[in-house]
């Protein structure tokens, strides 16, 4: 019963953060006088605090991402990372097309991330399953250790996060979902962001829960990625832990 109440509390909290994220998108849609098409769903919020978090951005670089989509993803990745840094997270980058590759290991080096993002190019198919496998390897594939840093609630309170950005369908849906399931068993929270060309039902199933899956128009992709930082569980390793940031004095 107590576990059920905690789950309901997380759900109410995450709904608030999801609404904040959607409000950002709606403001852009209103400015352009065009409706926003965003995937909605119930979500839970993580309340447990740890010293730091780790997030990997998994960016689709298949041929269909060429042009505006990749540029949107690049801009969103940098803006998301800035917010993640300030929340106490390290950020790594994985790109995938016909193959998956680690572009940048997890860290807090802004300049290195900018260079890594700048190197992203499009081509090939959408081998998402290999990207998820690579993320699992980077997280360490130590299920007990990851759970200790988060929770036993399948990523709902975990500070290990994978953010998947895509504009289409994976090469192997079944294999991608299997890899995602393994990450969830490790306690990794999976956030998915897709353009309106992606399969919303697949993104819902891929994410930890539907409230962490979002679909937007292509011209809103960067904002959706940036706003996804609001879905990161809170940590105690925030701004004070970054170079050049002075600790704030506690309020009286």
DSSP state of 249: P
Q: How far is CA 25 from CA 71, 134, 191, 198, in A?
A: 18, 31, 17, 18
pLDDT in tens, 131-160: 999 999 999 865 554 445 444 444 444 689
The pTM assigned to this predicted structure is 0.76
Nearest of 164, 89, 167, 158 to residue 134 by alpha carbon: 164
Residue 40 is predicted with a pLDDT of 32
Residue 37 lies in a domain: yes
Average pLDDT over residues 88-100: 97
Residue 222 is predicted with a pLDDT of 97
As beta bridge partners, residue 94 has: 58, 102
Residue range(s) defining the domain that contains residue 191: 2-236
Secondary structure of residue 63 in the 3-state scheme: helix
220 or 156, higher pLDDT:
220
Residue 252 lies in a domain: no
Residue 98 lies in a domain: yes
d(CA 153, CA 163): 18
- How many domains does the structure of the chain reveal? 1
Average pLDDT over residues 45-57: 63
Residue 242 lies in a domain: no
Residue 41 lies in a domain: yes
Q: What is the CATH number of the domain that holds 96?
A: 3.40.50.410
φ, ψ of residue 243 to 5 degrees: the values are: -60, 135
d(CA 22, CA 44): 16
pLDDT in tens, 230-242: 999 987 656 544 4
Residue 251 lies in a domain: no
Confidence band, pLDDT 50/70/90 cuts, at residue 67 = confident
Residue 244 lies in a domain: no
Residue 18 lies in a domain: yes
Confidence band, pLDDT 50/70/90 cuts, at residue 43 = very low
Residue 190 makes CB contacts below 8 A (sequence gap 6+) with 155, 161, 162, 164, 180, 183, 184, 206, 207, 208, 212
């Amino acid at each position: 019963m107590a576990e059920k109440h905690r789950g309901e509390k997380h759900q109410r909290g995450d709904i608030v953060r999801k609404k904040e994220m959607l409000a950002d998108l709606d403001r852009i849609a209103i400015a352009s006088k065009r409706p926003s098409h965003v995937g909605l769903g119930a979500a839970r919020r993580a309340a447990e605090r740890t010293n730091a978090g780790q997030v990997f951005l998994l960016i689709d670089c298949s041929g269909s991402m060429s042009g505006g989509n990749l540029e949107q993803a690049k801009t969103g990745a940098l803006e998301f990372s800035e917010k993640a840094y300030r929340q106490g997270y390290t950020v790594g980058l994985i790109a995938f097309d016909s193959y998956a590759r680690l572009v940048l290991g997890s860290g807090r080096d802004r300049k290195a991330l900018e260079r890594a993002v700048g190197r992203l190019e499009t081509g090939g198919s959408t081998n998402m399953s290999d990207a998820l496998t690579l993320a699992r390897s980077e997280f360490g594939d130590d299920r007990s250790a990851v759970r200790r840093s988060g929770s036993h609630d399948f990523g709902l309170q975990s500070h290990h996060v994978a953010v998947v950005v895509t504009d289409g369908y994976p090469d192997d849906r079944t294999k991608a979902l299997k890899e995602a399931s393994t990450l969830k068993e490790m306690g990794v929270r999976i956030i998915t962001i897709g353009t309106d060309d992606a399969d919303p039902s697949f993104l819902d199933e891929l994410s930890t829960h539907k409230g962490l899956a979002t679909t937007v128009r292509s011209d809103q992709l960067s904002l959706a990625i940036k706003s996804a930082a609001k879905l990161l569980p809170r940590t105690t390793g925030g701004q004070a832990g970054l170079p050049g940031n002075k600790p704030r004095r506690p309020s009286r």
